[in-house]
Structure formats: structure tokens, C-alpha cells
Amino acid sequence: MSKKVLFVVAPINFRDEEYFKPKKILENADIKVITASLKIGELSGTLGGKTTAEILLNEVNPKDFDGVFFIGGSGSSIYWDNEKAHEIARYMHENKKPLGAICIAPVTIERAGVLKGKKATVFPSEKKELKSATLSDKKVEIDGNIITAAGPEAAQEFGEVILKALQEK
């Protein structure tokens, strides 16, 4: 049985590498990647990349996924205070399923309350936002089921770490 993960992506200004590199790594390993956003249809990356959201965030049932990952880019701040995003993050954490965020997106899972006492990394501009986590200077940080990454230069490693976490589950 193939695994299925959810990528939560901003409608505009998601960071292309942070979406496309991990997605390719997972799909090459026969893991199905479903893209969720605040709208169905075409989403636009900061660097001009396009993808398609297949499901509205508000329609996501986290029980349907083996992992959930919040993609960064300046647009991802739209999820920082989104209650549905927080609910999904809390569900994944409570059920010990892989949960990740890259670039500025770790702020979303911080505000969901799942980083308390955890090691985490984030894009340098948002370090002050991770108030309950122990900040790491690593490009990618793993603490239990939570995977955080610091930005586009970490996208490849983020994807590889996600794959490993899913294969171990």
C-alpha cells in the first residue's frame, strides 16, 4: 500500500524549490503527494513555478495522510494563524505521524503549539517567532516526528529526511 502525504502550499508566493524538490523525491519513491491550499486550481511560486491544489485546506481530514508538510515562501505566512492548519498539525503530532515545515512555515506549527520543548530550525528572519522551541542552526532539524528546515537551500535535504521518516513508519 502506497503512502500518501499532504503538502500545504500558499496560493501565491510559495517557494518553488521547497515544493518541487521534496515532491519529486517523494514521488520517485512512489509516495503520493496531495497539494492543499486556500483555493483549488493553479498556485504560483515566487520564482514562477506553477502547481495545482487538489483539495481545499478546510476539507482536509488529517487521518487520510501518512505525513503533512507546510511549504515555505513569503506567501506561507497566510497559515501562521489559520486554525485549520493548526488543527492538522496538532493531529499529526498527537498521532506521531511525520509533520514538517520549511523556511518561514515552522511559524505555523509553532503557533499550533507542537514545537514546545522541541528542537527546530526556521528561516533566519523568523527565529524570534519560535518562542517555545529550542532553536537549532542546522539546515534541517529532526526532533521525534517533527522535521523543520531553514529555507530553499535545505529543500533537497528536507525532501530526503521526509522520505526517510515515511519509510520508517
Mean pLDDT of the chain: 97
**Residue 2: its pLDDT value, please?**
85
pLDDT (tens digit per residue) in 28-81:
999 999 999 999 999 999 999 999 999 999 999 999 999 999 999 999 999 999
Is-above-0.75 flag for pTM?
yes
* pLDDT value, residue 1: 56
Task: Evaluate if residue 99 carries a pLDDT over 70.
Answer: yes
Q: What pLDDT sits at residue 165?
A: 97
Phi (first) and psi of residue 26, to 5 degrees: -70, -45
Phi, psi values for residue 18, rounded to 5°: -70, -20
Burial letters 49-79, b for 16+ CB under 10 A, else e: eebebeeebeebebeebbbbbbbbbbbbbbb
